Amino acid sequence: MTAATNNHVDVVVVGAGFGGLYALHKFREQGLSVRVFEAAPEVGGTWYFNRYPGARCDVESLDYCYSFSDELQQEWTWTEKYATQAEILDYIKWVADKLDLRSGITFNTRVSSTVFDEDTLRWTVATDTGERVSARFVVMATGPLSSPLTPNIPGLDTFGGEIHHTAHWPHEGVDFTGKRVAVVGTGSSGIQSIPHIAEQATELHVFQRTPNYSVPAGNRPLTPEEIVHAKSTYAERRQMSWRSGGGSPHVAHPKLTMEASPEERQEAFEKRWELGGVLFSKTFSDQMINLDANEEARRFYESKIRAVIDDPEVADLLIPDDHPIGTKRICTDTNYFQTFNRPNVHLVSVRRTPIERIDETGIQTTDAHYDVDALVLATGFDAMTGTLAKIDIVGRGGQRLVDDWADGPRTYLGLGVDGFPNLFLVSGPGAPAVLANMVLHAEAHINWISEAIAHLDEHGYAAIEATADAVDDWIAECNKRAEATLFPKANSWYMGANVPGKPRVFMLFIGGFATYLDICAEVANAGYKGFNLLKAP
């Protein structure tokens, strides 16, 4: 049997994005037999699917890549500060080829269920192609943002033109030249794609429900000198990232916002503005905790944005007034706000004039009908839990994960779940996940899982299972930390607020990347405190 047909393995990994690929490499190196199942025909995950125009990372390319191999770091050369989707996908494919990962992956195959057998302490993983694989461990590298949401707008299926979701973008691309286009949604995907679509379309109508904060990326080519410097100092750069709050090599201003003089504050905000993007929310360490501090950042932001929008009424609509800055992920753009100065771009506030329905020729709001040839849905994801909920995960005593999580996800450290021994989550709820650089985050999770498996083997244990108390305590800890911040004030996807009927709970660990890693290390060093280690029956 080849690696990719073996149906009795140590580990099944679900997903072949950044997380699943590193898992395959790491577990193989550890001497474990591994099967990876990937629903797509190719590696890449997020970067395979999200091909809309303008798609780029919002963590700098030099940081948004694997750190586990210096050879990879030295051999690959990023061309821009924020890499395009195409370049990131090329990088992931290059890593997959270089480490011979494809031979361990079964593509075009979706895992439909995984069922735990209490007698053998093994999982039976079933796929939509009819495969059954028995595994001791299952690692869910299924991604936090991998279940796109299509809005429930009446008549959507009657639209006569083309419809594209940003997360299911056609591989051959879309040419909007000569077309009238509507974009629904102004989150990161909308904000990145709108300037590009505007350049092609004859008319572009942007349907905005909630305005979002977006900071210019300041994207540019990396100079040869920068590349040389980065490659020669990668060790320090990574060390700083591992010890940081968000997994990239940047630290907040040493003073609290209101302790800094007005000049110091202005200078610090200016510096972060120049750095670009999402890190603006971390200019000062208290910015996401203290409303007055946040308001300082928000005022700075507003003055910057007003300065680039010609029409003050359009600016009023584009500047958020319903949530503190940073409580939803700050978007990272290139000329987003300037795009609304173009004569062919029109902003429709669906707060003021809600969408009533879509019909064959376009979008009907409460006050007008917009005739369009193409519809772009930049409407986001059922984040964190949506993809896991599509897999029938059955633990002890027939307990289903989806039922267990009916009131919100329950995990210990974002890694384990009580009642589901030897099932590990990667970058899932209860971890910092999307609040950190996700490539390092995935590496951290997989390293921890790999060490846990080694520990079980060294000490003659068959399985590891989070205790219910540890899960309860961890949820309480995550909630307590979230409540001490401004994050719960926003109707964000972090809170599940973008999905009708989803429990409103803050799904992430907000205490910072380094703090989280310290906690995970302490748990392991204490003999996996909060986990039961089980002998073979």
Which helix (H) or strand (E) segment holds residue 49: the answer is helix 46-49
Interaction of residue 443 with ligand FAD, rule CB under 6 A: no
Residue of the chain from 16, 325, 372, 401 that contacts ligand FAD (CB under 6 A): 16
Contact between 377 and 184 under an 8 Å Cβ cutoff? The reply is yes
Among positions 64-83, residues that touch ligand FAD (CB under 6 A) are 64
Burial (CB count <10 Å: 0-12, 13-18, 19+), residue 152: exposed
Cβ contacts of 182 within 8 Å, gap of 6 or more: 204, 205, 206, 207, 362, 363, 370, 372, 374, 375, 376
Nearer to ligand NAP, 148 or 512 (CB): 148
- Both tokens assigned to 110: 């979706």
- Residue 46's binding partner, choosing from ligand FAD, ligand NAP, none, with beta-carbon cut-off 5 to 8 A by kind? ligand FAD
- Both tokens assigned to 66: 């694997």
Interaction of residue 281 with ligand NAP, rule CB under 6 A: no
In whole angstroms, give the CA distance from residue 508 to residue 529: 21
Which helix (H) or strand (E) segment holds residue 417: the answer is none
Contact between 391 and 112 under an 8 Å Cβ cutoff? The reply is yes
Give me the least distance between CB of 411 and ligand NAP, in Å please.
Answer: 20
Phi, psi of 249 (to 5 degrees): -80, 60
In whole angstroms, give the CA distance from residue 62 to residue 237: 9
Stretch that binds ligand FAD, among 294-302, 349-357, 437-445, 454-462 (CB under 6 A): 437-445
Interaction of residue 210 with ligand NAP, rule CB under 6 A: yes
In whole angstroms, give the CA distance from residue 11 to residue 105: 12
- Residue 28's binding partner, choosing from ligand NAP, ligand FAD, none, with beta-carbon cut-off 5 to 8 A by kind? none
Place of tokens 């007034």: 321
Residue of the chain from 12, 206, 363, 434 that contacts ligand NAP (CB under 6 A): 434
Residue of the chain from 437, 485, 492, 498 that contacts ligand FAD (CB under 6 A): 437
Phi, psi of 24 (to 5 degrees): -60, -45
In whole angstroms, give the CA distance from residue 223 to residue 368: 49
Q: What angle do CA 420, 422, 428 make, to 5 degrees?
A: 75
Among positions 363-382, residues that touch ligand NAP (CB under 6 A) are 378-381
Q: If you ran DSSP here, which 8-state letter would residue 329 be given?
A: P
Nearer to ligand NAP, 67 or 498 (CB): 498
In whole angstroms, give the CA distance from residue 465 to residue 477: 19
Interaction of residue 438 with ligand FAD, rule CB under 6 A: yes
Give me the least distance between CB of 533 and ligand FAD, in Å please.
Answer: 27
Residue of the chain from 67, 147, 248, 332 that contacts ligand NAP (CB under 6 A): 332
- Residue 209's binding partner, choosing from ligand NAP, ligand FAD, none, with beta-carbon cut-off 5 to 8 A by kind? ligand NAP
- Both tokens assigned to 268: 């610090």
Residue of the chain from 187, 276, 320, 414 that contacts ligand NAP (CB under 6 A): 187
Nearer to ligand FAD, 179 or 237 (CB): 237
Among positions 129-148, residues that touch ligand FAD (CB under 6 A) are 141-146
In whole angstroms, give the CA distance from residue 482 to residue 509: 8
Cβ contacts of 111 within 8 Å, gap of 6 or more: 12, 14, 37, 125, 126, 127, 128, 391
Among positions 38-77, residues that touch ligand NAP (CB under 6 A) are 56-58
3-class SS of residue 27: helix
Among positions 486-515, residues that touch ligand NAP (CB under 6 A) are 493, 498
Residue of the chain from 57, 62, 293, 376 that contacts ligand FAD (CB under 6 A): 57
Place of tokens 């790999």: 450
Interaction of residue 435 with ligand FAD, rule CB under 6 A: no
Interaction of residue 276 with ligand FAD, rule CB under 6 A: no
Residue of the chain from 105, 222, 442, 449 that contacts ligand FAD (CB under 6 A): 442
Nearer to ligand NAP, 54 or 419 (CB): 54
Contact between 190 and 183 under an 8 Å Cβ cutoff? The reply is yes
Q: How many CB atoms lie within 10 A of CB 415?
A: 23
Give me the 382-421 binding string for ligand NAP, x by CB under 6 A, dash otherwise: ----------------------------------------
Interaction of residue 204 with ligand FAD, rule CB under 6 A: no
Q: How many CB atoms lie within 10 A of CB 303?
A: 10
Interaction of residue 194 with ligand FAD, rule CB under 6 A: no
The residue whose Cβ lies closest to ligand NAP is 187
Interaction of residue 136 with ligand NAP, rule CB under 6 A: no
Residue of the chain from 84, 208, 210, 387 that contacts ligand FAD (CB under 6 A): 387
Cβ contacts of 254 within 8 Å, gap of 6 or more: none
On the CB side of 442, CA atoms within 13 Å amount to 26
Residue of the chain from 12, 13, 28, 38 that contacts ligand FAD (CB under 6 A): 38
Interaction of residue 17 with ligand FAD, rule CB under 6 A: yes
Instruction: List residues near ligand FAD by CB under 6 A.
Output: 14-20, 37-40, 45-46, 50, 55, 57-59, 64, 110-111, 141-146, 189, 387, 391, 426-427, 434, 437-438, 442
Instruction: List residues near ligand NAP by CB under 6 A.
Output: 56-58, 145, 151, 153, 166, 184-190, 192, 207, 209-210, 329, 332, 350, 355, 378-381, 434, 493, 498
